[in-house]
């Protein structure tokens, strides 16, 4: 890959150690004659470093994607799990050398997009890097129908239903006991707290598949994208979830596997 010269540095504002680290990193970068920015510079950046946890990295990736940019991003780990924020603070010197010398690759991670429809009217269009799901908004389970790529729908009663990318398979999907994906070509479709145990509670589907959720228990379910509530569904609503035309670009180093 090419050597970087223009870099964006962002820190989680509520993590003082991340803010201090980002300030020190900025000083070092300027000493190395790198241009440092705290905005997305109309997409004209070689890389973005997000100092925080996995959640902050996802929010940073969302900010890049919603602007239509394709800036490669890497995370410096100031969180708890660090599935996505792969750079440890103590190894930043080595990783900055890798970036300066072009010793890295850029991989593309699939994103999801959801279209929310009500009586033929578009209620909204939403994007997510990790997952999009429908879940109960109050006590008790909800009933809903699910169709995969136009096939005969099946009906479930559960706490909800989640669709996750490979990136998101290590997030909420993992907490729910869903499979962790190895290949970018796959998505996960996972029932949340199903009331019956059968072979229709977790699926590994193709990233080319489209999932439609309908007939949801009226006014008792909410639509969520990457942990952010979008709204409350009605029984007449339909939600179509599929692969987004936008991808998130991650900076990867040769000695880190994932």
- List active site positions: 54
Write the CA distances from 11 to 14, 25, 33, 249, integer angstroms.
9, 11, 21, 19
Task: Determine if residue 29 is left, alpha or beta; phi over 0 gives left, psi from -120 to 50 gives alpha, anything else beta.
Answer: alpha
| CA atoms of 28 and 142, how far apart (whole Å) | 53
Contact 72, 251 (CB under 8 A): yes
Contact 214, 238 (CB under 8 A): yes
Tell me, what DSSP letter sits at residue 51?
E
Which residues partner with 163 through β-bridges? 132, 189
């Amino acid at each position: 890959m090419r050597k970087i010269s223009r870099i964006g540095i962002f820190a989680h504002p509520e993590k003082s150690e991340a803010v201090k680290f980002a300030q020190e990193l900025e000083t070092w970068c300027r000493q190395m004659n790198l241009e440092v920015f705290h905005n997305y510079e109309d997409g004209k950046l070689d890389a973005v470093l997000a100092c925080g946890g996995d959640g902050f990295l996802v929010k940073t990736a969302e900010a890049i994607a919603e602007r239509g940019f394709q800036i490669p991003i890497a995370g410096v780990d100031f969180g708890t799990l660090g599935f996505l924020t792969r750079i440890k603070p103590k190894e930043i010197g080595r990783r900055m050398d890798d970036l300066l010398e072009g010793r890295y690759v850029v991989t593309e991670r699939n994103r999801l997009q959801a279209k929310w429809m009500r009586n033929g009217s578009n209620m909204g269009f939403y994007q997510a890097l990790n997952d999009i799901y429908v879940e109960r908004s109050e006590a008790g389970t909800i009933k809903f129908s699910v169709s995969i790529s136009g096939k005969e729908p099946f009906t479930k009663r559960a706490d909800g239903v989640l669709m996750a990318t490979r990136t998101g398979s290590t997030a909420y999907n993992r907490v729910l006991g869903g499979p962790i994906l190895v290949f970018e070509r796959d998505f996960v479709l996972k029932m949340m707290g199903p009331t019956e145990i059968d072979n229709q509670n977790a699926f590994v589907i193709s990233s080319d598949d489209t999932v439609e959720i309908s007939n949801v228990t009226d006014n008792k379910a909410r639509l969520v994208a990457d942990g952010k509530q979008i709204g409350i569904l009605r029984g007449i609503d339909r939600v179509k979830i599929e692969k987004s035309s936008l991808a998130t670009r991650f900076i990867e180093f040769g000695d880190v596997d994932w």
